[in-house]
């Protein structure tokens, strides 16, 4: 399990981020093998790839001799293997590798376990009384972030430890069999039979003789007989004379068999199961042994979570082992100091430089702030344990004047070390890659949750191949298929289904092929023409506008100069030629001098054809010599051109359509501008040209103007005719108008056959159009809008 | 550059427009002469615009040929015909020294032949196609949705019928004339008034420099 340094939530091994708060767990992801750089699971001891040792092999203690603790009056009892089931049995082989610390429960007390395990490491030398006291201590709360727990590795059990363990197991069995055994407290406590020397006492004796020579580096400081605490002295005496009693918490002996001090302890334990020090038993003050009273006093005096190691004893009184602990405490940094430094570092494990006072000891496997309590063998027999020592050293807060030795910074702490501190020279070997965002808005920021690459990067038209996964190999196996699926889905172009439009119900008229309709139209128009004879006898009644136009031309004086504007092209020549021929023919009959002009590029050529065709019916009208007829050609500029002609005609037309000098032509003799003409005849297929001529020539200069246009021009042209004064003197529109004009020109004798045939053809075509409109109305548009539907605007309808 | 692109064209347009307008309103010979000159410049510019249209046609179709679009063969045919006619017109622009009486320029017989036998029939064919398109459009012309659509349909049929029965039936042609002389004329007058007012407003905006279609 990996515990989040932020919230303490337990996460599965291999997790990169906390499931609760999302904090990065990269520093605690695994242990990097120093030999093959393979990333192993946390709490691994050996590398899964090369088998190399991941955890440092603990160096044996320089001395197994525990210096006696001055002033300690507790009976010592060495029990070995108490926590061995919790400790890995590590072989002594293998290279020394840095120890990687894993995040365990933050609630667990480092001191308690570390002390216990440290005691376990040297279990054969730690007196049982000390271990029991430490185990019975309450779990103190953490001052800061959860402490890391380390996979401490105890030293291999010594033969004495093995013996002790066996004895304890026997005792445990006896206790379990006994009905009076206290249910929860110290099941491992051995039972002491009457008259039998307790194993712990025997052990103590043996250790007392062995401990000193096993610690040559720490010469014991024997205490004088008079310096021994009373309990120790008693113990010594009882060990020689009588059966020693069990520890107070293990009171199994009969009352009369217990020594006094043990009986007292038993009474106190029966009253209250001590989780704290035995001084909390509730005994009377005067009943307490001296050592117990001392402990009680110290507990009452608001023992802090980390009671200082500073001895109540003076400096000179401190046993060597105690002095050494004190020195370690002064040199070791506290957790608060180490935490932020190692935040960004890799969780590699490095052993900090061993504290100066503990060079000969085993490599400190616990982070520095808490120097471990002295080993049991370091506590000299007969010495009284100072009360400050009973609660194991606190959170590494050094006392005044003390320095702590620099402890080894575990890997998880190094992982938290900021980069800037790494640059200062600390050799931190990252285990995993730092989570630095590479793309997107958060580029360059550390510890950003990695997102799916297809989201962070602009989506390309083609699927993005995720070649390098920021996750571990195990995660890739799970996430890769999902990532590929996601990439495939995202890269797909949206497929818009075509909107299904309901096909309207087809009617029989809709099924009629349009080519038949077109064929009917051709037949209707062509048949009268092919017949060559009028189908109907028509009686034409000319409209007033037609008659006015006729009168306007008819009233022209002889040799009148008329300006004819041919503003249509071959596209509309089918209709306009009929209208133009009527008017030009009448002008030729009147022998007027005609000047043709056009505002369209194709107009002059159209006019030329028109005049030639009409002139063929008027042999006495000469059009080639320039006496009666002149074609001025095309004048660009639209309305501006008409305006320019109104100012000066030679300026507008230096030459005519044939290239002759305008001033040399008799047809234009005396013509200086448009104002000089007697009449303007506009042949317009569109409304624009008609308006230009009316607005720029007829109206400003008062020149009489008549117009012959297509049926489409008729509605607009009538507006100029129906004015007062009239802006158009006369108007004919379309083939019917031309027919009416011809009937007037013929003197009322009726239509000419050719005109009648044209009217018959027009009639047939228009009848077919009417039938098609009616059919379409019936087949498609015959649908009444319900009243509930709001009506659209009138303009839209048109 | 900003002056050349914005300020100068605007100032020129305003000045010329005001000049022509004042010349129209005030019968001063000098103003009339200058105004006439400006109008002549407009005619020349319009003629040059025709030439620019010709160049644009050539450019567009050359691109079609270069890019091998679907209709690039027709672009080749168009350009070939264009240059042939242009060449003939340039050749016949000046009178022949051999026969001075023969017309030159656009009235040259060669160009007239091209117009009479090629251009006129083609354009007339396009005009004739309109009849068929009009016929197809007439099929969906009338949609009876409300009263207005009914009126539209009825009026359309009456006008067509009056046109068709010209000289045959006395009622329908008169009814058609009435429709054109009264309701249609009224509507058309309203349209023309609106067009005139819009033209005046646009002219004022141009003279005041509010609208600048000729500058950036």
The pLDDT value given to residue A774: 86
Q: Which of the four pLDDT bands, split at 50, 70 and 90, describes residue A106?
A: very low
Query: Quick one: pLDDT at residue A307?
Result: 45
Mean pLDDT of A183-210: 58
Contacts A–B by Cβ distance under 8 A: 203
Q: What is the pLDDT of residues A235-267, one digit of tens each?
A: 766 665 555 444 444 444 455 556 677 676 666
Asked if A651's CB is within 8 angstroms of B123's CB, the reply is no
Question: Does B144 contact A776 at a Cβ distance shorter than 8 Å?
Answer: no
Give the closest of B50, B126, B180 to A714, CB-based. B180
Q: Report the distance separating Cα A161 and Cα A158, nearest Å.
A: 5
Cβ neighbours of residue A695 under 8 Å, at least 6 residues apart? Answer: A639
Contact: A538, B168; criterion CB under 8 Å: yes
Residue-wise pLDDT tens digits, A640-672? 999 999 988 888 888 888 888 888 888 898 999
For residue B27, which residues of chain A lie inside 8 Å, CB to CB?
none
Residues A183 and A232 in one domain: yes
Under 8 Å between Cβ of B59 and B41 = no
pLDDT digits (tens, 9 = 90+) for A732-766: 999 999 999 998 888 777 778 888 898 899 999 99
Distance of CA B143 to the CA centre of its chain: 32
Start-to-end C-alpha separation, chain B: 11
User: Are B163 and A631 an interchain contact pair (Cβ–Cβ within 8 Å)?
Assistant: no
% of residues, chain A, pLDDT over 70: 50
> Cβ contacts (< 8 Å) between A543 and chain B: which residues?
177
Say whether pLDDT at A210 is over 80: no
pLDDT over 50 (residue A421): yes
Ranges A82-86, A590-594, A777-781: which has the least confidence: A82-86
Asked whether residue A583 carries a pLDDT value surpassing 90, the answer given is: yes
pLDDT band, very low/low/confident/very high, at B194 (cuts 50, 70, 90): very high
Question: Which among B102, B107, B112, B196 is the top mutation candidate for probing chain A, defined by the most A β-carbons within 10 Å of its own β-carbon?
Answer: B107
Structural domain boundaries, residue A155: 1-434
pLDDT of residue A527: 92
The answer to whether A721 and A750 have CB atoms below 8 angstroms apart is: no
- Which residues of chain A are within 8 Å of residue B161 when distances are taken between CB atoms? 766, 770
Yes or no: say if A100 and A54 are a contact pair by the CB < 8 Å rule: yes
CB contact under 8 A, B43 and A572: no
Interface test with A, best of B29, B39, B140 (most A CBs within 10 A): B39
Residue A355: pLDDT band with limits 50, 70, 90:
very low
Checking if the pLDDT of A346 tops 50, the result is: no
How much is the pLDDT for A404? 72
Mutate to test the interface with A, among B128, B135, B178 (most CBs of A within 10 A): B135
Question: How remote is the C-alpha of B82 from its chain's centroid?
Answer: 21
The pair of three-digit structure tokens given for residue A656, joined into one six-digit string: 């005519």
pTM reported for the whole predicted model: 0.52
- Cβ neighbors of B81 (< 8 A, separation 6 or more) are none
The answer on pLDDT for A438 being more than 60 is yes
Residues A418 and A474 in one domain: no
- Closest partner CB to B132 (pick from A518, A608, A739): A518
The size of chain B, in residues, is 216
Average pLDDT score, chain A: 70
pLDDT of residue B104: 72
**Which of A672, A713, A661, A682 shows the shortest CA–CA distance to A596?**
A682
Burial class (CB within 10 angstroms; exposed 0-12, middle 13-18, buried 19+) of A401: exposed
From residue A164, alpha-carbon distances to A125, A135, A154, A170, A189 in Å are 11, 18, 16, 10, 11
Residue A504, pLDDT score: 63
- Whether residue A414 is found in the same domain as residue A278: yes
A711 domain residue, yes or no? yes
pLDDT bin (cut points 50, 70, 90) of residue A553 is: very high
In angstroms, the CA A541 to CA A68 distance is 149
- Nearest Cα of chain B lies from the Cα of A730 at a distance, in angstroms, of 14
A791 chain-B contacts, CB cut-off 8 A: 146
Predicted confidence band at A34 (pLDDT cuts at 50, 70, 90)? confident
Is residue A500 domain-resident? no
pLDDT greater than 80 at residue A214: no
- For residue A770, tell me if it sits in a domain: yes
Detail the DSSP E strand segments found in A674-750: 679-684, 705-709, 730-733
pLDDT for the residue numbered A98: 44
- Identify the pLDDT of residue A706: 96
Distance from A663 to chain B by nearest Cα, in Å? Answer: 17
Distance (Å, whole) CA A741 – CA A585: 11
Instruction: Return the SS3 of A721.
Output: helix
The answer on A656 and A624 residing in a single domain is yes
- In terms of domains, do A422 and A445 share one? no
Are residues A28 and A133 both part of a single domain? Answer: yes
pLDDT digits (tens, 9 = 90+) for A155-188: 555 556 556 665 666 666 655 555 444 444 444 4
Q: What is the pLDDT of residue A599?
A: 95
- Which residues of chain B make contact with A604, given a CB cutoff of 8 A? 106-107
Residue A523 pLDDT level (bands cut at 50, 70, 90): very high
Q: Does residue A486 form part of some domain?
A: no
Chain A nearest C-alpha distance from B7 (Å): 25
Measured distance CA(A155)–CA(A703) in Å, rounded: 130
Q: Are residues A385 and A440 in the same domain?
A: no
Q: What is the average per-residue pLDDT within A131-153? A: 56
d(CA A120, CA A153): 9
A275 vs A680, higher pLDDT: A680
Residue A469 has pLDDT above 60, yes or no: no
User: Is A323 found in the same domain as A450?
Assistant: no
Bigger pLDDT: A309 or A762?
A: A762
Residue A694 reports pLDDT greater than 70: yes
Question: Which chain B residue's Cα is nearest to A541?
Answer: B167
Is A137 a member of any domain? yes
Percent of chain A with pLDDT over 90: 19
Q: What is the DSSP letter of A144?
A: S
Q: Which two tokens stand for residue A156?
A: 């291999």
Interface probe, candidates A597, A776, A798, chain B, greatest B C-beta count within 10 A = A776
User: What local confidence, expressed as pLDDT, does residue A708 receive?
Assistant: 95
Inspect the interface and report whether the beta carbons of A781 and B107 lie closer than 8 Å.
Answer: no
Task: Please check whether residues A204 and A253 belong to one and the same domain.
Answer: yes
- Stretch A288-300: mean pLDDT, rounded? 63
**Mean pLDDT across A313-327:** 65
CA distance B131 to B141: 14
More confident residue, B56 or A33: B56
B69 pLDDT higher than 70 = yes
Q: What value does the mean pLDDT take over residues A73-82?
A: 48
Instruction: Please check whether residue B106 is in contact with residue A656, taking contact to mean a CB–CB distance below 8 angstroms.
Output: no
What does pLDDT average to over chain B?
87
Percent of chain B with pLDDT over 70: 94
Q: Is-contact A528 A764, C-beta < 8 A? A: yes
Shortest Cα distance, chain A CAs vs residue B180, angstroms: 6
Across A697-702, average pLDDT: 91
Give 3-state DSSP helix, strand, coil % of chain B, rounded to 5: 80, 0, 20
Mutate to test the interface with B, among A511, A598, A715, A757 (most CBs of B within 10 A): A715
For residue A442, pLDDT over 90 is answered with no
The Cα of A514 is separated from the nearest Cα of chain B by a number of Å equal to 8
Among A539, A631, A772, the residue with its CB nearest the CB of B138 is A772
Query: For residues B41-68, b (16+ Cβ closer than 10 Å) or e, as one string?
Result: ebbeeeeeeeeeeeeeeeeebeebbeee
Q: How many residues does chain A have?
A: 798
pLDDT per residue as tens digits for the range A618-629: 998 888 888 899
Arithmetic mean of pLDDT, A521-550: 89
pLDDT range class, residue A280, cuts 50, 70, 90 = very low
Residue in the block written with tokens 């000419």:
A752
Q: How far B3 CA lies from chain A's nearest CA (Å)?
A: 28
The backbone torsions φ and ψ at residue B142, rounded to the nearest 5 degrees and listed phi first, read -95, 130
Tell me, yes or no, whether A462 lies in a domain. Answer: no
Q: Residue A721's pLDDT band (boundaries 50, 70, 90)?
A: very high
Across the interface, whether the CB atoms of B42 and A640 are under 8 A apart is answered yes
- Taking residues A116-124, what's their average pLDDT? 43
Q: Is the pLDDT of residue A395 over 60?
A: no
Give residue A269's pLDDT.
58
Which one, of A673, A711, A705, lies nearest residue A690 by Cα? A705
Question: So what's the pLDDT on residue B136?
Answer: 83
Looking at residue A573, which CATH number applies to its domain?
3.40.50.720
User: Which residue in B has a C-alpha nearest to residue A696's C-alpha?
Assistant: B24
Q: Are A10 and A442 in contact (CB under 8 A)?
A: no
- Is A757 inside a domain boundary? no
Q: Are A763 and A583 in contact (CB under 8 A)?
A: no
Distances (CA, A) of A770 to A518, A757, B164: 14, 20, 10
Question: Distance, in angstroms, between B101 CA and closest chain A CA?
Answer: 10
H or E stretch at A698? none
A587 in any annotated domain: yes
Do the strands A39-40 and A31-32 form a parallel or antiparallel pair, or are they unpaired?
Answer: antiparallel
The C-alpha of A438 sits at a distance from chain B's nearest C-alpha, in angstroms, of: 44
Among the partner-chain residues B120, B142, B165, the one whose CB lies closest to the CB of A773 is B142
Query: Residue A245's pLDDT is what?
Result: 47
Contact between chains at B32 and A647 (C-beta distance less than 8 A)? yes
Instruction: Return the structure tokens found at B80.
Output: 């070939």
The answer to whether the beta carbons of residues A644 and A673 sit under 8 Å apart is no
Complex prediction ipTM: 0.90
A443 and A401 share a domain? no
| Residue keyed to tokens 């894993």 | A102
Per-residue pLDDT for A455 more than 90?
no
Select from A605, A609, A643 the Cβ nearest to the Cβ of B39.
A643
- Asked if B157 lies within 8 A of A773 by C-beta distance, the reply is yes
pLDDT of residue A95: 46
How many domains, chain A?
4
Within 10 Å of residue A502's Cβ, how many Cβ atoms?
5
pLDDT at A461 over 60: no
Which one has a higher pLDDT value, A321 or A8? A8
H helical segments located in A334-427: 335-338, 411-414, 419-422
What pLDDT is recorded for position A78? 47
Q: What is the pLDDT of residue A196?
A: 58
Mutate which of B138, B157, B169, B191 to disrupt the A interface (most A C-beta within 10 Å)? B138
Predicted local distance difference test score (pLDDT) of residue A111: 44
Tell me which residue of B135, B138, B177 sits closest to A733, measured CA to CA: B177
pLDDT score of B188? 94
- Helical pair B8-25 and B183-208, crossing angle rounded to 10 deg: 120
Say if residue B216's pLDDT is above 50. yes
Compute the half-sphere exposure of residue B138: CA atoms within 13 Å on the CB side of its CA: 23
* Statement to judge: residues A441 and A428 lie in one domain: no
Do both A473 and A385 map to the same domain?
A: no
């Amino acid at each position: 399990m990996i515990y989040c340094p932020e919230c303490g939530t337990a996460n599965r091994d291999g997790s990169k981020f906390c499931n609760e708060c999302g904090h990065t767990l990269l520093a605690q992801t695994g242990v990097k093998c120093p030999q093959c750089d393979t990333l192993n699971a946390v709490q691994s001891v050996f590398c899964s790839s090369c088998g190399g040792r991941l955890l440092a092999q603990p160096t044996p203690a320089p001395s197994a001799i525990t210096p006696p603790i001055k002033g300690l009056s507790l009976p010592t009892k060495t029990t070995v293997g108490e926590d061995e089931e919790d400790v890995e049995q590590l072989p002594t082989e293998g290279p020394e590798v840095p120890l990687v610390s894993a995040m365990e429960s933050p609630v667990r007390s480092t001191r308690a376990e570390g002390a216990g395990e440290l005691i376990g490491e040297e279990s054969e030398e730690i007196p049982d009384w000390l271990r029991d006291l430490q185990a019975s201590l309450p779990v103190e709360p953490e001052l800061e972030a959860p402490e890391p727990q380390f996979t401490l590795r105890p030293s291999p059990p010594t033969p004495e430890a093995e013996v002790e363990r066996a004895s304890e197991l026997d005792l445990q069995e006896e206790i379990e069999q006994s009905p009076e055994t206290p249910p929860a407290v110290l099941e491992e406590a051995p039972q002491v039979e009457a008259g039998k020397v307790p194993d712990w006492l025997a052990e103590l004796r043996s250790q007392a003789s062995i401990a000193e020579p096993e610690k040559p580096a720490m010469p014991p400081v024997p205490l004088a007989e008079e310096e021994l605490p009373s309990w120790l002295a008693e113990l010594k005496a009882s060990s020689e004379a009588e059966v020693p009693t069990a520890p107070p918490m293990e009171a199994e002996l009969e009352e009369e068999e217990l020594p006094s001090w043990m009986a007292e302890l038993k009474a106190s334990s029966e009253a209250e199961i001590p989780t704290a020090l035995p001084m909390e038993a509730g005994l009377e003050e005067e009943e307490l042994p001296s050592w117990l009273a001392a402990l009680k006093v110290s507990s009452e005096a608001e023992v802090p979570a980390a009671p200082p190691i500073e001895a109540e004893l003076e400096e000179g009184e401190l046993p060597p082992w105690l002095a050494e602990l004190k020195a370690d405490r002064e040199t070791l940094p506290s957790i608060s100091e180490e935490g932020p430094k190692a935040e960004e570092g890799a969780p590699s494990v490095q052993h900090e430089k061993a504290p100066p006072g503990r060079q000969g000891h085993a490599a400190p496997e616990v982070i520095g702030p808490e120097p471990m309590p002295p080993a049991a063998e370091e506590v000299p027999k007969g010495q009284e344990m100072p009360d400050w020592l009973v609660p194991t050293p606190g959170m590494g807060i050094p006392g005044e004047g003390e320095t702590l030795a620099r402890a080894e910074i575990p890997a998880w702490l190094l992982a938290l070390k900021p980069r800037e501190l790494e640059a200062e020279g600390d050799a931190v070997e990252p285990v995993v890659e730092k989570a630095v965002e590479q793309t997107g808005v958060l580029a360059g920021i550390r510890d950003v949750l990695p997102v799916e690459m297809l989201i962070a990067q602009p989506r390309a038209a083609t699927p993005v191949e995720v070649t390098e996964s920021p996750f571990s190999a195990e995660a890739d196996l799970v996430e890769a298929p999902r990532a590929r699926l996601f990439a495939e889905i995202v890269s797909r172009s949206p497929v818009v289904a075509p909107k299904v439009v309901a096909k309207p119900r087809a009617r029989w008229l809709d099924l009629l092929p349009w080519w038949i309709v077109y064929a009917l139209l051709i037949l209707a128009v062509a048949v009268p023409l092919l017949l060559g004879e009028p189908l109907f006898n028509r009686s034409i009644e000319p409209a007033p506008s037609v008659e006015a136009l006729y009168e306007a031309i008819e009233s022209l004086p002889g040799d009148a100069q008329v300006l004819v504007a041919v503003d249509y092209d071959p596209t509309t020549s089918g209709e306009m030629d009929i209208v133009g021929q009527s008017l030009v023919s009448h002008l030729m009959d009147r022998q007027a001098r005609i000047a043709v002009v056009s505002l369209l590029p194709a107009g002059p050529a159209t006019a030329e054809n028109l005049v030639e065709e009409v002139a063929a019916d008027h042999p006495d009208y000469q059009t080639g010599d320039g006496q009666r007829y002149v074609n001025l050609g095309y004048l660009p500029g639209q309305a501006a051109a008409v305006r320019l002609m109104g100012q000066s005609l030679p300026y507008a037309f230096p030459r005519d359509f044939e290239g002759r000098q305008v001033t040399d032509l008799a047809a234009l003799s005396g013509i200086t501008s448009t104002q000089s003409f007697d009449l303007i005849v506009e042949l317009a297929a569109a409304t624009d040209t008609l308006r230009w001529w009316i607005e720029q020539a007829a109206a400003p200069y008062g020149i009489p103007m008549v117009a012959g246009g297509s049926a489409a021009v008729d509605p607009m042209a009538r507006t100029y005719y129906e004015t007062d004064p009239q802006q158009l003197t006369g108007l004919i529109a379309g083939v019917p108008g031309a027919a009416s004009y011809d009937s007037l020109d013929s003197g009322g004798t009726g239509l000419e056959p050719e005109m009648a045939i044209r009217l018959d053809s027009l009639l047939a075509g228009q009848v077919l159009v009417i039938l098609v409109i009616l059919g379409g109305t019936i087949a498609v548009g015959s649908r009444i809008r319900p009243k509930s539907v709001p009506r659209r605007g009138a303009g839209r309808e048109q | 550059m900003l002056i050349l692109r914005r300020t100068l064209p605007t100032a020129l347009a305003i000045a010329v427009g005001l000049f022509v307008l004042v010349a129209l309103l005030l019968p001063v010979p000098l103003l009339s002469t200058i105004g006439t000159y400006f109008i002549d410049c407009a005619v020349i510019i319009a003629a040059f615009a025709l030439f620019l249209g010709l160049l644009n046609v050539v450019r567009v179709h050359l691109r079609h040929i270069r890019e091998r679009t679907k209709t690039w063969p027709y672009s080749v045919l168009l350009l070939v015909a264009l240059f042939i006619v242009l060449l003939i017109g340039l050749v016949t622009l000046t009178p022949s020294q051999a026969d001075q009486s023969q017309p030159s320029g656009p009235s040259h017989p060669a160009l007239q032949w091209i117009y009479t036998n090629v251009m006129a029939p083609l354009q007339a064919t396009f005009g004739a196609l309109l009849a068929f398109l009009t016929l197809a459009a007439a099929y969906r012309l009338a949609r009876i949705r409300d009263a207005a659509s009914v009126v539209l349909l009825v009026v359309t049929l009456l006008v067509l019928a009056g046109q068709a029965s010209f000289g045959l039936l006395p009622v329908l042609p008169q009814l058609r004339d009435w429709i054109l002389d009264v309701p249609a004329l009224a509507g058309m007058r309203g349209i023309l008034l609106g067009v005139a007012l819009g033209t005046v407003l646009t002219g004022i905006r141009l003279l005041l420099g509010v609208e600048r279609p000729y500058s950036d």
